[in-house]
Amino acid sequence: MKDTVRVALIQGKPYPELDDPRNVGHAITLLEKCRGKDVDLACLPEYFPWAGDEILADMAKKLRCYIIAGLVEEVGDERFNTATLFDRSGTIVGRQRKANLTTMERRHLGIVPGDSTYKVFDTEFGKMGFPVSFDFWGQPRAAQILTDHGADLIINQSIFPILKAHWKQSALVRAFENFIPVVGINTAGFNSRVGGRVYRHHGGNSIIIQPPRLISRDDFTLWLRSLDSLEGWVKVELDEREQVYFSEVDLGTTRKFRTELWHRLGIQRHRLE
């Protein structure tokens, strides 16, 4: 199992209507930038590209990488805001439905909440969880459940009409208390049109948060004794432009030392694998 995962942060700028079919083509154009980059996981933001299961599955096969996309899942008369993960063969590994919805989502997009069941999904590089937007950064429950079930990595797709500045701080807290790397992917800034009104979505600042790479128990002990700030955990923080950014995410440190950290700090947690 790989201890390092190469990710692509695809900070796309959607068309004003979130369900505009042109968003699918735009997402594919951005994904094309991953070709030849040895990407393990390409991350698209919340509600982007809204639709396109078959096209995204085909793209995952062509790029030979996992893709996580912000899609609307339609089941009967119900619509769910889902993070959807495709594997390298284009197969859907799983979907995570958003539980905590905004008024705009309920009234104007017809979205209904998921049931707050947060699941981990197996990949070739470990177990992943991907709670959507506020489900992760707005409350601690999802990250705790996922970590207790053995998650090695959390992906958080978001889109921000408010509170973007709070995102990094809350993600740092989630990363520390669960000792887990976090990849947060936002859209670039744009104005959306929903229900006849214009909403400004504050773009950018997609993030990768992880503790420093630690090899031995001595490394861990020295690091913990000197720990005074989490600012060094922010490995990547993008600006507000549309862009595709490539980076490595270390999974090995948290696998080796998560239980040790909890023990030394007196945190009462139990892995449920």
Average pLDDT, the chain: 95
The conformation of residue 212, written as its DSSP 8-state character, comes to P
Among candidate residues 7, 84, 69, the one with its CA nearest the CA of residue 38: 7
Q: Which of 39-43, 60-64, 263-267 has the lowest mean pLDDT?
A: 263-267
Tokens of 197: 């009104």
The alpha-helical segments, DSSP class H, found in the chain are: 22-31, 53-63, 103-108, 134-137, 141-148, 164-178, 217-225, 252-265
pLDDT of residue 272: 65
pLDDT digits (tens, 9 = 90+) for 191-224: 999 888 898 999 999 999 999 999 999 999 999 9
Q: pTM of the entire structure? A: 0.96
With respect to residue 272, please indicate whether it lies within any of the assigned structural domains.
Answer: no
Nearby residues of 210 by Cβ (< 8 Å), 6 or more positions away: 175, 181, 182, 233, 235, 249, 250, 253, 254
With respect to residue 146, please indicate whether it lies within any of the assigned structural domains.
Answer: yes
Domain span at residue 259 reads 4-265
The two beta strands, 41-43 and 49-50, are: unpaired
Rounded CA separation 181/171 (Å): 10
pLDDT of residue 273: 56
pLDDT digits (tens, 9 = 90+) for 19-48: 999 999 999 999 999 999 999 999 999 999
Nearby residues of 116 by Cβ (< 8 Å), 6 or more positions away: 99, 141
Crossing angle of helices 141-148 and 164-178, in 10° steps, is 30
CATH at residue 234: 3.60.110.10
With respect to residue 273, please indicate whether it lies within any of the assigned structural domains.
Answer: no
Domains: count for the chain: 1
With respect to residue 188, please indicate whether it lies within any of the assigned structural domains.
Answer: yes
With respect to residue 271, please indicate whether it lies within any of the assigned structural domains.
Answer: no
Rounded CA separation 188/144 (Å): 29
pLDDT digits (tens, 9 = 90+) for 129-184: 999 999 999 999 999 999 999 999 999 999 998 888 899 999 999 999 999 999 99
